[in-house]
Amino acid sequence: MKPAQPRKKKRRKMPYEKWMESIGIPIYEGHHVADLKSIDLGWWDDRQVHAAFLHLKGMEGVSEARIVELPPGKAIPPMKMPIGELVYVLEGQGLTAVWNERGGERRTFEWDEKSLFHLPRHLHHQIYNASGDRPARLLHYNYLPVAMSVVPDPDFFFNNPYQGGPLLRDDDELYSEPQEIRDDRENAPAIGVYWIGNFFPDLGHWDRLNAFRDRGAGGTAIFMRFPDAEMGAHMSVFSPGLYKKGHRHGPGRVIVIPAGEGFSLLWKKGGEKIVCPWREATVFVPPEDWYHQHFNTGTTAARYLALGPLPQFRGKGETLADRAERQIEYPDEDAYIRRKFEEECEKNGHKSQMPHECYENRDYRWTYGDEGD
């Protein structure tokens, strides 16, 4: 008689997952979604929009992402949440109003395709589609799964009567131009500077970038923070025919593509490499402590926008003292990576622009124009 095989325990669903499934709209899983502009949505009656959830591997229990589409000329009913939220505009144009119950005027700002804005906690907000003949499609990102694990009551998070949060004064410039901040403290952004604000008007053309030397490929970046919030994001830009170094970090980062064409590799240490092709409006998520690497096989600069999780989810890849364990230098990478990249470039009718020296010299320094490198 053979011994009984141990049964694989089924993971208990988290409160957020139960709530998400109760809404009855599509839920997209896996590692990536090729085009957020064209995926099928379902009608969410409470919000009066078409919508879908993203529940990709690496987000579970950490971050929420959902797609919302406003019909032409329509608005989402007012709401507020006790947590902040980032909104990235996939397509369309419109405006958003924010206010609270404690006095002060409503704050209204206009947004367009590839805008990114922050909705602060405890403030009412309403989002309008300014076009009368085309829908507006938005990507929302927040930390609702973490919050629901602490307070597993959905009603607590939507239109809670609590009247705390920031008081809007008449002189507040809640959605004014972001400000550049120099930061040389521990845990500061790798580029030594970040921008703080609630509204970034067009990340498809944002050009106030700094050299991102740590990741290679001559890339530049902007790191974003949001006032009175733990939320963060960054966008990296790099030229055609180049690719970034493999690296790893914690869970919950949702990466969306504002511009460019290429692919990313995702793999667990020692595991199979998963290929995620991307173009504008592709989204993917690197799971916790999986290596991932970004490749520009197009003919124009590529941009990827990473919406980041809470600081406590940084992960081993960002805290290990051994740099070799958190980032793979070009001379140390799997031969498959260089070969795969060159093959994909050839399919697009051009060649790799990676300098041969970077594969031989771990201290190779990329050129950043007038910065004298």
Q: Are 145 and 64 in contact (CB under 8 A)?
A: yes
Amino acid at 170: D
Neighbours of 31 (CB within 10 A): 18
Amino acid at 251: P
pLDDT digits (tens, 9 = 90+) for 62-79: 999 999 999 999 999 999
Q: Are 253 and 58 in contact (CB under 8 A)?
A: yes
Least confident of 9-23, 84-98, 191-205, 259-273: 9-23
Q: Are 259 and 300 in contact (CB under 8 A)?
A: yes
Q: Indicate whether 100 pLDDT > 90.
A: no
pLDDT digits (tens, 9 = 90+) for 317-357: 444 445 557 899 999 999 999 999 999 999 999 999 999 99
**Could you give the CA distance from residue 153 to residue 156 in angstroms, rounded to a whole number?**
6
| Pairwise pLDDT comparison (319 vs 41), residue with the higher score | 41
Q: Are 180 and 209 in contact (CB under 8 A)?
A: no
Q: Indicate whether 44 pLDDT > 80.
A: yes
Amino acid at 118: H
Q: Is domain 15-157 in CATH 2.60.120.10, yes or no?
A: yes
CA torsion angle 36 37 42 43 (round to 10): 130
Which residue in 314, 267, 330, 266 sits closest to 294, CA to CA? Answer: 266
Which pLDDT value is given to residue 315?
58
Average pLDDT for the chain? 90
**Could you give the CA distance from residue 168 to residue 221 in angstroms, rounded to a whole number?**
32
Which pLDDT value is given to residue 190?
74
| Alpha helices (runs of H) in 10-160, residue ranges in sequence order | 15-23, 144-150
Domain residue extents for the chain: 15-157, 179-368
For the residues 238-250, what does the mean pLDDT come to?
A: 95
Given the structure tokens 């290429």, which residue do they identify?
Answer: 262
Token pair belonging to 105: 């005027």
Which residue in 239, 278, 242, 277 sits closest to 258, CA to CA? Answer: 278
Token pair belonging to 223: 């790191």
Neighbours of 320 (CB within 10 A): 14
Q: Are 130 and 93 in contact (CB under 8 A)?
A: yes
Which pLDDT value is given to residue 105?
73
Find residue 42's DSSP bridge partners.
Answer: 51
Name the pLDDT band for 370 (thresholds 50, 70, 90): very low
pLDDT digits (tens, 9 = 90+) for 140-192: 999 999 999 999 999 999 878 887 766 666 556 788 889 999 887 666 677 88
For the residues 111-125, what does the mean pLDDT come to?
A: 95
Q: Which CATH number fits domain 179-368: 3.40.50.300, 3.30.43.10, 2.60.120.10, 3.40.50.261?
A: 2.60.120.10
Q: What is the DSSP letter of 319?
A: H
**Could you give the CA distance from residue 39 to residue 34 in angstroms, rounded to a whole number?**
9
Neighbours of 126 (CB within 10 A): 17
Q: For 359, what's the count of Cα atoms within 13 Å in the CB-facing half-sphere?
A: 13
Neighbours of 130 (CB within 10 A): 16
Torsion sign across C-alpha atoms 248, 279, 90, 23: negative
**Could you give the CA distance from residue 244 to residue 265 in angstroms, rounded to a whole number?**
11
Task: Give the SS3 label for residue 88.
Answer: strand
Q: Are 295 and 343 in contact (CB under 8 A)?
A: no
Given the structure tokens 């845990």, which residue do they identify?
Answer: 187
Token pair belonging to 95: 């405006």
Find residue 180's DSSP bridge partners.
Answer: 195
**Number of residues assigned to the chain:** 373
Which residue in 157, 141, 136 sits closest to 86, CA to CA? Answer: 141
Q: Indicate whether 42 pLDDT > 80.
A: yes
**Could you give the CA distance from residue 282 to residue 92 in angstroms, rounded to a whole number?**
17
CA-based radius of gyration for the chain:
21
